[in-house]
Amino acid sequence: MVIRKFIYQLVEGTDRIAETIESLFIYLGVWVMVCLAFIQVVGRNLFSFTFNWGEDLLRILVLWTGFVGASLATRHSRNINIDVLTRLLSGIAARRMNFIVNLFSGIISILLLIAAWQLIRLERQFPDFISSIRIPIWSAEIIFPVVFGIISLRFLSNALRILLGMPESKPEILPGRKK
C-alpha cells in the first residue's frame, strides 16, 4: 500500500512539474506568436517591411507550441479518438481495454521517439540550415523526441496506474467554458 502510494505520488508529481513547464512554454510561445505575426502583417502591408527571420521563427513556434499542446492533450486525455466500441464495455472489461490502449499507445510513442532520434542523428551528420535564423534544422526537430518521450511516459504511467488499481491522474481541471 505504501509503495503504491509512493509510486502514485512520484508519477503524479513528476507529471505535474512537466505540465507546469509545458504550460509556461505554451503561454510565452503563443504570445510571441500572436505579437510577431501581427507585426509581420502590419509591417508587410503598410510599411513594406518585415523581419526576414520572422516567418521561419513563426513556423517553428507553431510546431513547438502545437506539439507541446498535444503533449498536454495526452495529460488531460483530450486526444482525438473515435471511441465507438468503448461505450459498449463496462466495469472490468472497460478497465482492461483502457490498459491495453494505454500500453499500446505508450509503445508506439516510444517507437516514434526512436524514429525521431534516428532522424536527428542523420541530420546532425549532414546538417542543413534554416537560412534566415542560421540554425540547423535538427535543432528545430528536437521537439519531436522531447514530446514523444513525454507522451510515452504519460501513456505508460496511465497503464501502470490501471494495472495497480490506482486512481486515474487528476490534472488541474481546466474549467469548461463558463457561459
Positions touching other proteins (CB under 8 A) are: 23, 26-27, 30-31, 33-35, 37-38, 40-41, 44-45, 55, 58-60, 62-63, 65-74, 76, 78-86, 97-98, 100-101, 104-105, 108-109, 111-112, 114-116, 118-119, 122, 137, 140-141, 144, 174-179
Q: Given the complex with other proteins, which of 10 and 41 has the nearer CB atom?
A: 41
Report the nearest approach of other proteins to the CB of residue 4 (Å). 26
Q: Which residues contact 150 (CB under 8 A, 6 or more apart)?
A: 18, 22, 71, 74
Amino acid type, 79: N
User: Closest by alpha carbon to 74, among 146, 30, 19?
Assistant: 19
Which residue number, 12 or 141, has a Cβ lying nearer to other proteins? 141
State the Cα–Cα distance between residues 97 and 33, nearest whole angstrom: 40
The torsion angles phi and psi of 166, rounded to 5 degrees, stand at -95, 160
72 or 153: CB nearest other proteins: 72
Query: Least distance (Å) from other proteins to the CB of residue 93?
Result: 11
Residue closer to other proteins (CB basis): 3 or 84: 84
Q: How far apart are CA 106 and CA 149, in angstroms?
A: 9
> Closest Cα partner for 127 from 115, 143, 142, 114?
142
Q: Which is nearer to other proteins, 6 or 104 (CB)?
A: 104
Residue whose C-alpha cell reads 540547423 in the numeric block: 136
CB 98, CB 105: distance < 8 Å: no
User: What is the smallest separation between the CB atom of 164 and other proteins, expressed in angstroms?
Assistant: 21
Looking at this protein, which amino acid is placed at residue 151?
I
Which cell numbers in the block locate residue 154?
504519460
Least separation, in Å, of the C-beta of 52 and other proteins?
15
For other proteins, which is the closer residue by CB, 7 or 171?
171
Shortest separation between residue 1's beta carbon and other proteins, angstroms? 30
Least distance in angstroms from the C-beta of 125 to other proteins: 12
